[in-house]
Structure 1
Amino acid sequence: MEKAAIIVIDMQYDFVGEEAVIPCKSDPSLIENNKKLLAYARTNGIPVIYTQEIHRKNHVDFGRELDRSEPIHCVEGTRGVEILEELKPEPTDYVIQKRRYSAFFQTDLQVLLKGLGVNTIILTGAATDVCVRATATDAQQHDFYVIVPKECVAGTSQKQHEAALEHIDYVLGRVVGMDELMVG
């Protein structure tokens, strides 16, 4: 993982936990698994980048997101937009705010990754079948290697989660066990 970075996708209150408006289903150890992987990354000098979905209070920037009965979520100034307290970014981490599913779409993520000398991204977070997969697709299209540790992601349903992991592993990158990443 010499040229890797971890991208923690949308681990926000509107997606994870009891108060989530779009609850992502996962193993109960999702947060602990992410904490363990992030500690490993920071100890080994691997950059950590967070994404934070955020929308304006007047909803003008949701685009097509609300077309399929998706509830209003991640509105600026609400608790739902905040990154989970247990996974708060540290001062050495980076935070990319985004208004669409992919962390690459109209953000400076690609510039940051190139500046850090990264060619491999490790995606964790929520939702496997929405923002994680959209980011994986764009990453692969921008010639980054993609790795998803299956214990560190959550989907909008178990069925969608598994389908997204299968799709990512088939064409976009590799789905691996967390322990496979934390070797050496």
Structure 2
Amino acid sequence: MIDMINTYDHEDAELLVPAAERAVPVLAELIGRARSSDVPVIYANDNFGLWRSHHGELVDTALSRPRAGLVEPICPADDSLFVVKTRHSNFYDTPMAYLLWQLGAGTVVLTGQVTEQCVLYSALDAHIRHLHVTVPRDAVASIHPHLEAAALEMMERNMDARIVQAEEVDFRGTRWPVSEGTPHEPGGRS
């Protein structure tokens, strides 16, 4: 889940909030299904420029702001995995690739905000690491709907991403393994 631990006190927040309000109930349901199927839920979140911050502080800060209702239903559980990021992609200067390799992940389901920015760039970085990408269109939020449509089309056409409704994501009985012979070990073969 990308950048959903958010204070919503940034530029363009008022344009983002309506899309986030639509996505949060879908995300809460999707997270619940993933957890009940023992599929790891990884939160990847901006650090809001707070370079000494950690995930607990980010969550506490978001929960103390007026838009806490957009964070409460999707808060990380105590055993949730959390990667603090500083730029648009979940992979840029983070341990995300190594974490996914350790988990044996071959597929990622990208959710969160902003579709036309962080979700798009994370999808590209996942694709070039030979990961299969699924994006539930109702579990992402955008600032500009026309750019979201273009981003989803780009992910589908250029990155072979599966663009689906959240209800189509089936976690049951799936280990989400790496495909046989897929070389995406961090720092290794590609």
Answer yes or no: same fold by TM over 0.5: yes
Write the letter of the residue equivalent to 1:176: V
1:160 corresponds in structure 2 to 147
User: Unaligned stretches of 5+ in structure 2?
Assistant: 52-57, 173-190
Q: Deviations over 1:16-63 (max 9, x none)?
A: xxx5543225274311100000000000011000011014359xxxxx
TM-score normalised per structure 1: 0.77
1:101 corresponds in structure 2 to 88
Q: CA 1:171–1:77 in structure 2 vs 1: closer, same or farther (change >3 Å)?
A: closer
Match of 2:123 among 111, 136, 142: 136
Q: CA 1:101–1:86 in structure 2 vs 1: closer, same or farther (change >3 Å)?
A: same
Answer yes or no: is the 8 Å Cα contact 1:54–1:97 preserved in 2.
yes
Match of 1:50 among 33, 36, 43: 43
1:126 corresponds in structure 2 to 113
Answer yes or no: is the 8 Å Cα contact 2:63–2:72 preserved in 1.
no
Within 5 Å, give how 1:143-182 maps onto structure 2. Answer: 143-172=130-159, 173-182=161-170
SS in 1 for 2:77: coil
Write the letter of the residue equivalent to 1:144: L
Q: CA 1:80–1:43 in structure 2 vs 1: closer, same or farther (change >3 Å)?
A: closer
Which has more helix, going by share of residues? 2
Q: Aligned Cα RMSD in Å?
A: 2.6
1:10 corresponds in structure 2 to 3
SS in 1 for 2:110: strand
* TM-fit CA distance, 1:14: 3.8
TM-score normalised per structure 2: 0.74
Which has more strand, going by share of residues? 1
User: Unaligned stretches of 5+ in structure 1?
Assistant: 1-7, 59-75
Matched, 1:87 2:77: no
- For these two proteins, the number of residue pairs brought into alignment is 158
* TM-fit CA distance, 1:94: 0.4
